[in-house]
């Protein structure tokens, strides 16, 4: 009986660790470029739920997922296609992703939380962060969205 119980405990612990590790994304520039490319694609084509899901907690705290999706459905973002150029490790666990939209090079900041890459809107684009923390009316005005 003891061996059976001990065996079950070992199996349960093993499954628990395997499940936790299933969502871990490698801390490499190659992996971050892959994640950032997918993120930029989702943003460009207004696939808004997965975009918000990649936000870090500080960025998610600015606007609820439901409002982020609603705001972007009513005022779709269309920055144009983004090409991710590279990901560079910085100090303190941060990474900078350089990408290009229409011959302009921009920078986003990412870090890992619980083994998953998370985008920092607060650090990448403080003015957009302030806008999301504001009102829908301000968002409409700032984006030039026409609610017709």
Whether 9 is in a domain gets the answer no
Contact 129/122 with Cβ under 8 angstroms? yes
Vertex 82, ends 81 and 84: CA angle to 5°? Answer: 155
Say what the pLDDT of residue 29 is: 96
Residue 42: strand, helix, or coil: helix
- Domain count across the chain: 1
Its domain, for residue 92, covers 26-143
E strands, 6-90, where?
82-89
Whether 41 is in a domain gets the answer yes
What is the per-residue pLDDT across 77-93, written as a single tens digit (0 to 9) for each?
777 788 999 999 999 99
CATH number of residue 133's parent domain: 3.10.450
pLDDT class for 11, splitting at 50, 70, 90?
A: very low
Global pTM? Answer: 0.81
């Amino acid at each position: 009986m003891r061996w059976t119980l001990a065996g079950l405990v070992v199996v349960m612990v093993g499954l628990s660790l395997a499940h936790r590790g299933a969502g871990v994304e490698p801390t490499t520039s190659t992996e971050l470029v892959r994640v950032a490319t997918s993120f930029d694609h989702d943003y460009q084509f207004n696939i808004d739920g997965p975009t918000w899901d990649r936000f870090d907690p500080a960025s998610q705290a600015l606007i609820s997922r439901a409002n982020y999706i609603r705001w972007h459905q009513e005022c779709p973002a269309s920055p144009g296609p983004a090409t991710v150029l590279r990901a560079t490790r910085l100090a303190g666990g941060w990474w900078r992703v350089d990408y290009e939209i229409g011959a302009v090079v921009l920078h986003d900041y990412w870090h890992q939380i619980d083994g998953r890459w998370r985008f920092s809107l607060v650090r990448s684009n403080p003015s957009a962060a302030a806008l999301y923390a504001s009102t829908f009316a301000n968002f409409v005005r700032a984006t030039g969205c026409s609610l017709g």
